[in-house]
Copies of this chain bind each other. A is one copy, B any other.
Amino acid sequence: MESVLAEAVALLDEAGAAALTFRALAQRLGGGVASIYWYVANKDELLDRAADHAMGPVLNDVDKLPRSDDPIDDLRSIALTLFDAIVQRPWLSSYFMRNTSIQTHTLGLYEKLGQQTLRLDLTPSQRFYAVSAIVGVVVGSAADLGQEPTQDMLDGNVDRDAYLHRIAQDWRDLDPREFPFVHEIADEFDGHDDADQFRAALELTLTGLRLQAGA
């Protein structure tokens, strides 16, 4: 079981989500395709478990994070750690932190986030929404990362800067009276840093939360 998940993660790291097939995995394990079905009911569960396997070290990193006396600061640190995990493993984006019945590390991460909200003056309902919101920011940014041409970039066909530049140029070519906003932010989009974008979104949510908690 352990080695099945380890090889699955290795395969995903090396060549992305499309590379994880039962046949490729079986070959790496030196066995038959059907063997994998003894450990896992179907491909969805395989991906859920592989994603959670990759989250083990992340939960560890979060545990080692220094705890400050501002719970909002701690929420920020945890969220940034989660974001880093996705940057390093883009294939996580689709199976990231869903299905807490199977993903035990994910449940642990919810708990870590939630414990910070316990230090804030909020109702249980507000705490539930707060953690959902923060995870939502991470997942939303992950989806944004996944939308960039990661595969083409791995293949060396396109580099990210050229890709962003091409889109920004399309935007600049639009009628500025019909698209005043897109026009205004074309320069911002061109060469933007995903991490900055994530941090900005996270900051808005954390500010809202701080205000709600009166902290």
Task: State the A residues within 8 Å of B (CB).
Answer: 98-101, 107, 110-111, 113-115, 117-118, 124-133, 135-141, 143-144, 147, 167, 170, 178-182, 184-185, 187-189, 192, 196-197, 200-201, 203-209, 211-212
By the criterion CB–CB under 8 Å, are A147 and B200 in contact?
A: no
By the criterion CB–CB under 8 Å, are A133 and B124 in contact?
A: no
Across the interface, name the chain B residue whose C-beta is closest to A113: B181
Question: In the assembly, how many copies of this chain are there?
Answer: 2
By the criterion CB–CB under 8 Å, are B137 and A133 in contact?
A: yes
**A94–B208 CA distance with the chains assembled, in angstroms:** 28
A148 → chain B closest CB, angstroms: 9
Q: List 19 A-B contacts (CB under 8 A).
A: A98-B143, A99-B147, A101-B167, A107-B179, A110-B181, A111-B180, A124-B188, A125-B188, A128-B189, A128-B192, A131-B185, A133-B205, A135-B140, A136-B137, A136-B141, A136-B143, A137-B137, A139-B140, A139-B143
